Structure 1
Amino acid sequence: MSRRVIARAYGGPEVLAVVDAETAGPAPGEVVLEVRAIGVNPFDYKLYSGSFGADPAALPLGLGSEAAGVVAQVGDGATGPMGPLSVGDEVIAYPLSEAYADRLVVSGDSVVPKPASLPWNEAAGLLAVGATAVDTLDTGNVGSGDLLLVHAAAGGVGSMVVQLARMRGATVIGTARPENHDYVRSLGATPVSYGDGLGDRIRVLAPDGVDVVIDTAGGDEAIDVSVDLVRDRSRLVTTVPGRRHAQFGFRIVGAMGPDGMEPRKRARTALVDLAGAGDIRVRVARTYALSDAATAHTDLRKPHAAGKFILLP
């Protein structure tokens, strides 16, 4: 028996409930995880809000794309991207579809080893944002000498984009709220405040415009400034596509992009190595009990300190 969080209907966080569920043993190629920590991401609440459709037949919905835990059982032939899996292995699992649980049955292909140096909370919050960041950087072909503008640079994906872009040799300007400027600066970017005059403030730093834009914020301000500043519109990239993004030719990454999840899967092992070595950091803003998932989602929709939200079973 396990505890898991489901969405009973489409709506706000009030539709979330904790239920008991039977956990089957692993089939061939699968493992059972005793979960230690779970990453919370905006995609999770968008799923049950109806942003991607509201098919009643899909209810109840399981939530969560990433978790970290210990392998408790191993099915025949279960192998991860880095080799065979064994009981007792400390691992990170991504991508998943129902990670909000204290016990999971997952495909071995979704499991990579957790470095001993990486705390559980940080491990659980690494791969969804990290792999998305790699996807955006590859899509925008970001490299040495590029001047990159990142919208929402203090957010989960944005902060990882900044760190990885700096490792590639890019110079980064990041939009953020004033209270997050020190954090953005610590990651290696020059922070700029949102709001009226944003384009003018960036022009002071980039009088000739920027080479690449990665928009992890969405909204008209980010779109308008990006289109005005980028020198080559083929290097406009977004993780939050909308009608106006399509109008101006932003390239879409992730599950909604042309290559689906494959670029993110390929990024996992390198990200784990970097995090284990301390070369990239996952900032954890808050932790919540699994039973408080609705509270976590309510808080995630409000302005909050920079960093990931983590659920603890």
Structure 2
Amino acid sequence: MKALVYTEFGGAERFELTEVGDPHIGPDTLLVRVAAAGLNPVDYKLREGHLRGLFDTRLPAIPGWDVAGVVEQVGLDTPEYAVGDRILAYARADVVEHGSLAELMPVPVRTAAPLPEGLSFEDAAALPLAGLTALQTVERSGLTEGDTVLVHNAAGGVGSFAVQLARLRGARVIGTASAAKHDYLRSLGAEPVEYGAPLIEQVRALAPDGIDVVLDYAGGGALDSTPALLHEGGFVVSITDPRARDEFDGVYAWVRPDAVQLAALAQLAADGTLRIERAATYPLAEAVDAYRQLEAGHVQGKIVVTI
């Protein structure tokens, strides 16, 4: 099969589009004919070797955990699915080796959800990791109707979903983004503010009584403003900064595969309740360019590669 692989840790120049052997599947795994793969920053962080303390990588490795496609073969104990079924998955395995930037991918059945009618493969591939991250962090924040929520990097892949999910729960959302993305945030139901020095003043002007929940998808110094903005009893969740846990008694989160949650998100998207923003779509032959765009940063929404 054709796949994008890297045989050494390093930059995007390590990628090579080549022929590799078809993957084997275990008893609780599906072999999926990949239609589309979603790209995430964790893909290149793994390729660069930065996450070797968290995940083992078996080289040569194929990147990608987000997948949408058609079941080609079923394991001996996967009664939930049959050959020909359309699925999507956050197909994270314990060892990084067989990712979604390939014609075929082994998908643990516990990570897969049915692809509902009305949702394209391309949009489905943009949903799993970012959508689940948004849903799980929103749920762990404990936000309730009427809360005021500050979302850092609100126009990014995760932030875009978090804004919408928080709004669906009846929260008021203030989102950080560059000025060029403010109209986009307004279209999602958020009140935009700019990054940088004016942030505290802008948020205080909008929410003089303080913020109930901070959702951090930006990292860097995003949480520096928290002491000045979070009122007593407020809650902080971050996917990038352990200070959320260590300094603010909140949650430092890592997304988990969850087939039930993913099915619910997919249905929301198919119904038109949850908007999926795709920044760009590339063919597999141009997958290296897709990763270069992702690694350049400031992407609005998700980048998808079609296989």
Q: Could you state the TM-score of these two structures normalised by the residue count of structure 2?
A: 0.91
Q: How does 1:1-313 map to 2 (within 5 A)?
A: 2-24=1-23, 26-53=25-52, 58-79=58-79, 84-97=80-93, 98-220=99-221, 222-232=222-232, 235-242=235-242, 246-255=246-255, 261=256, 264-313=258-307
Q: Unaligned 5+ residue runs, structure 1?
A: 256-260
| Residue in 2 that maps onto 1:258 | none
Instruction: Quickly say closer, same or farther: Cα 1:120–1:171, change in 2 above 3 A.
Output: same
Instruction: Quickly say closer, same or farther: Cα 1:140–1:92, change in 2 above 3 A.
Output: same
Partner amino acid for 2:5?
I
Cα distance in 2 between the residues matched to 1:33 and 1:143: 38
Partner amino acid for 1:272?
A
SS in structure 2 at match of 1:267: helix
Cα distance in 2 between the residues matched to 1:113 and 1:187: 26
Of 283-292 and 163-172, the range deviating more from structure 2? 283-292
Cα deviation digits, residues 6-35 of structure 1 (max 9, x gap): 222222111112232221454433222111
Instruction: Quickly say closer, same or farther: Cα 1:47–1:243, change in 2 above 3 A.
Output: farther
Cα deviation digits, residues 184-231 of structure 1 (max 9, x gap): 1011110111122111011100111100000000111x1111232112
Aligned length: 301
Q: Unaligned 5+ residue runs, structure 2?
A: 94-98
Identity of aligned residues (%): 38
Deviation of 1:290 (Å): 1.8
| Residue in 1 that maps onto 2:96 | none
Deviation of 1:232 (Å): 4.0
Of 49-58 and 184-193, the range deviating more from structure 2? 49-58
Whether the 8 Å CA contact 1:36–1:69 is kept in 2: the answer is yes
Cα deviation digits, residues 81-133 of structure 1 (max 9, x gap): xxx21121111122334122111122222221111201111100111111100
Whether the 8 Å CA contact 1:5–1:17 is kept in 2: the answer is yes
Cα distance in 2 between the residues matched to 1:95 and 1:254: 15
Instruction: Quickly say closer, same or farther: Cα 1:56–1:182, change in 2 above 3 A.
Output: closer
Whether the 8 Å CA contact 2:38–2:67 is kept in 1: the answer is yes
Instruction: Quickly say closer, same or farther: Cα 1:248–1:45, change in 2 above 3 A.
Output: same
Deviation of 1:310 (Å): 0.4
SS in structure 2 at match of 1:297: helix
Cα distance in 2 between the residues matched to 1:232 and 1:120: 44
Deviation of 1:5 (Å): 1.9
Partner amino acid for 2:16?
A
Cα distance in 2 between the residues matched to 1:244 and 1:85: 39
Whether the 8 Å CA contact 1:234–1:249 is kept in 2: the answer is no
SS in structure 1 at match of 2:200: helix
Kindly report the root-mean-square deviation, in angstroms, between the aligned alpha carbons of the 2 structures. 2.2
Partner amino acid for 2:290?
A
